[in-house]
Amino acid sequence: MKATTEHDEKVARLQGVAEAAGVGGVLLAAHHNIAWLTGGRGNRIDASREAGTMRLLITRDGGRFVLANAIEMPRLRAEELEGLGYEPVEYAWAADQDPAFAVGQARALAGEDALGADAGLPGTQPIEGAIARARHRLTDAEIERYRALGAEAGAALGALCVTLRPGGDERDIARGVADAAASIRARAIVALVGSDERLRRFRHPVPTAAKWKEVVMLALCAERDGLVVSLSRIVAVRPSADLLERTHATARVFGKLLGATRPGATGAELYSVAAKAYADEGFPEEELKHHQGGAIGYRAREWVAHPASQEAVQERQAFAWNPTITGTKIEDTALVIGGKVEIITSTPGWPAIELHDGIRASNVWRL
């Protein structure tokens, strides 16, 4: 019997998506979906666009096709898709200026049934939600890649943090965050830096010309081979008692969220866990000031926990929780495997706050 590869398993999942949606095939164009399907191979040339130049079509009967213009097809076949068994459908680059052209080619291959797609392509049925749910359960190979990425990202961001000194420009620190990601062959898709009063005022501190004096927070979402990890770290010269108190309280909220992240729990239930945890810590309604995080994978957040969310935790799924109390934040990425939660973005040597069941949250680094 032929061994099932990661790619074969994902093709089968998309066949199931097509069957459930009643479409003749699934047409993928978005970067995150193509990276997922191909085990981390790329479709990105212009990073400002949500979709790349190629389209991958999986028909309901398991056919595999790559649709691309004549500029890209030779490289795609020789490098990105080598060994995956895709049948090429090539056309002139001028034809590719009309997104409906590739859709027409795909419809001819998929038969008379409707065509499902992920990127709002003309003449297709949008089924991104169903595709996303097919992505959530990680394969063995993805778990291995995720653990490696998390470990390297935690180490790289930590190595940058311990070099920081007061007076540094937030923009220069953000450049360092991007360089830290690049040093592990990852891409910083989010790099936030907030210091002092800006950290207390803004939950998403996009870096500015401000020079930090007492405390600075670095937040990174790093993407490699399609997978994304999220983590934040705080550095302070002489952390105040108030900062430490708030950070420990935030860590306990983080611990409650991780403790509740078990298969079957819904986003709404997890949001309620966070809200109660903030109130128990004496900081009610902090959950209203920033989202708490949620599932992560091939997007920085696959879904976030909110009061109406019916998305449910799956076994072998990744989560990034980011609870905040004004002036501080705890954020790391974890895997749900075998009924346990495993943090994968820990920073070696970083001060930790002990919680429960072996869970440790990142504390403030004191210079």
Average pLDDT over residues 230-244: 98
CB 331 within 8 A of CB 320: yes
pLDDT over threshold 70, residue 42: yes
pLDDT over threshold 80, residue 3: no
pLDDT over threshold 80, residue 213: yes
More confident: 46 or 173:
173
Picking from 7, 32, 6, the residue whose alpha carbon sits closest to that of residue 298 is 32
Residue 358 — very low, low, confident or very high, per pLDDT cuts 50/70/90?
Answer: confident
pLDDT over threshold 50, residue 43: yes
pLDDT tens for 269-320 read: 999 999 999 999 999 999 999 999 999 999 999 999 999 999 999 999 999 9
Which pLDDT score, from 0 to 100, does residue 48 have? 84
Residue 335 — very low, low, confident or very high, per pLDDT cuts 50/70/90?
Answer: very high
CB 343 within 8 A of CB 334: yes
Which pLDDT score, from 0 to 100, does residue 120 have? 83
More confident: 275 or 3:
275
Q: 186-189 long-range CB contacts below 8 Å, 24 or more apart?
A: 186/149, 186/152, 186/153, 186/222, 186/223, 186/224, 187/222, 187/223, 187/224, 188/220, 188/221, 188/222, 189/221, 189/222, 189/223, 189/228, 189/300
Strand ranges across the sheet with 187-195: 187-195, 215-224, 227-236, 365-366
In angstroms, rounded to a whole number, what is the distance separating the alpha carbons of residues 277 and 30? 37
**Percent of the chain topping pLDDT 70:** 99
Average pLDDT over residues 118-146: 95
Average pLDDT over residues 143-158: 98
Please, is 133 exposed, middle or buried when counting C-beta atoms within 10 Å of its C-beta (0-12, 13-18, 19+)?
middle
pLDDT over threshold 60, residue 2: no
CB 335 within 8 A of CB 176: no
Average pLDDT over residues 47-54: 86
Residue 68 — very low, low, confident or very high, per pLDDT cuts 50/70/90?
Answer: very high
Average per-residue pLDDT for the chain:
96
Which pLDDT score, from 0 to 100, does residue 1 have? 36
Residue 328 — very low, low, confident or very high, per pLDDT cuts 50/70/90?
Answer: very high
C-alpha dist (Å) from residue 344 to 32, 229, 318, 320: 21, 9, 10, 10
Which pTM was predicted? 0.96
Domains and CATH numbers, the chain: 6-135 (3.40.350.10), 140-366 (3.90.230.10)
In angstroms, rounded to a whole number, what is the distance separating the alpha carbons of residues 31 and 9? 19
23-27, 120-124, 162-166, 259-263 — which is least confidently predicted? Answer: 120-124
Reported residue count of the chain is: 367
Which pLDDT score, from 0 to 100, does residue 356 have? 87
CB 322 within 8 A of CB 308: no
pLDDT over threshold 70, residue 88: yes
